[in-house]
Structure 1
Amino acid sequence: MTGRAWPSREEWQASAEKAVRTFCTPSERLARINPGARWSTLDEDIEFEELATKAAKDVRPLLTQEIGRLRQTLPDRPAAGRPRMAWFIELEGQRYEDACNLGALEEMRRDIQRAVRGSNWGTVAWEVGRLFDHYHPAITMSLALCNAIQRMRALSAAAQERHDQAAREAVDAAVAAEVARRATEEAWQKELERRADIDSPRVILVGAQTSPSKGDQVT
């Protein structure tokens, strides 16, 4: 069997960094190194929970008010299921826009309620932030609520930056280790053995008593 055209030792060594960086994402690598790690402080978590709890409470009447207004503009809206879908497909213009907004806000209110019950404060912050981004100032939000949203975003961004920095450092360390490993004779010999296993796999019969070994193929 003719072997494939393998890179030279120099080429193999030069591709060490690429091999590390394309093996998995930085976040995946970090998760394997520090499973379950948190990137926010306890004080930040407490502040975030307090902000999200109050934001959920403050935003509920705003959602309820706007949902009620939109429902009044669509008195013929079916309760649910296929009748609603058929009704929705026929909508045009402002009625279509109102129906889209109504469905989105109803879903947002449900998601926030579920998130509060499950103490999923990140979800609360995400949903309230969506309201701020896409419905403010059509839905009037207090200055305190707007400030709370911005503060939650700042806390999330700080934790994300710590995570990203740790991920970058993990990748850099892995690259350095792989470059050093490929510079050794032992690593090169193992690479040659791996290539030989691929180029010349053993062939065994199905049901034979021979124990498979690395590189075996079953026919």
Structure 2
Amino acid sequence: MTNRFWPTREEWAANAEHYVRTACAPKERVSNRPADWLATDELAEARALIPAILKAARAGLNREVASLRAQLGDIPKGVGWYDWHDSLTAEQQALANRHSELIDARRSLNSEAKRALEEHNTVDYLLFAWGQISAAAARVDAAQEQTDRLDALQYALAERRNTAAQAALRDAIDRATARRNSDEGWAEELERRAGIEAGPRVIRYPA
């Protein structure tokens, strides 16, 4: 026998909402498939927007990177970059920082654009990829019309999934609350506690 402290029936019932909220994140209660929250034509539109955004953003990033390199001269890599950066004037440091940001944006643009076009994406993965693509394009004011539309689709995907997740959470709370306030639910809880108190069952097989 164990010597556990168990909450009273009233305490157990009052803890229903806390139990449900901490069991998992709301989004885990609903589908993580983009096709469940965006129509087929909306997903197709997003996929069609990405190549145009990629082309315009990459061209803009390449132009500005080249311009900054022309102003800064040779830019060392690795640990030498920090000593080089410290030797610059404040104005040059601002240009060097901008150069680093654009390089990161270009790298992110290329990788996330490729991933965004994969067939089997989750909602979270797709939201992140679309966000990175839009952010990279925004750094050089490229493809504004296309990125605005991609952002709208990104918002719709997130909002629809979130709305459903909150509804699923509310439903789970209501069901847990009703169960914990019922005689049947309390009987099941007592049975569960008794099983825990009894400890693991040992199955003995004949020799």
TM beyond 0.5: yes
1:87 aligns with 2:84: yes
- Contact preservation (8 Å) 1:21, 1:171: yes
Residue 100 of structure 1, aligned match among 97, 102, 110: 97
Q: CA deviation at 1:193?
A: 4.1
Show the counterpart of 1:160. Answer: 158
The count of corresponding residues between Structure 1 and Structure 2 is: 193
- Contact preservation (8 Å) 1:74, 1:99: yes
Show the counterpart of 1:175. Answer: 173
Higher RCO, 1 or 2 (CA under 8 Å, sep at least 6)? 2
Show the counterpart of 1:126. Answer: 131
The CA distance in 1 between the partners of 2:145 and 2:198, in whole Å, is 65
TM-score by length of 2: 0.77
- Please tell me the residue identity of whatever aligns with 2:106: R
1:211 aligns with 2:198: no
Q: CA deviation at 1:106?
A: 1.4
**Over aligned residues, Cα RMSD in angstroms?**
2.8
Q: CA deviation at 1:75?
A: 1.0
Distance change (3 Å), C-alpha of 1:9 and 1:140:
closer
Counterparts of residues 30-179 of structure 1 (less than 5 Å): 30=30, 34=31, 36=33, 38=35, 39-78=37-76, 80-91=77-88, 93-118=90-115, 119=117, 125-131=130-136, 133=138, 135=139, 139=140, 141=142, 145-179=143-177
- Contact preservation (8 Å) 1:67, 1:105: yes
Deviation sequence 1:119-176 (CA, Å, 0-9, x none): 267666423432465x4xxx454xxx21211111111111111101110121122112
Structure 1: unaligned runs, 5 residues or longer: 204-209, 213-219
The CA distance in 2 between the partners of 1:140 and 1:2, in whole Å, is 66
- Contact preservation (8 Å) 2:134, 2:150: no
- Please tell me the residue identity of whatever aligns with 1:130: A
- Please tell me the residue identity of whatever aligns with 1:15: N
Show the counterpart of 1:188. Answer: 186
TM-score by length of 1: 0.74
Q: CA deviation at 1:197?
A: 5.7
Show the counterpart of 1:7. Answer: 7
Distance change (3 Å), C-alpha of 1:191 and 1:149:
same
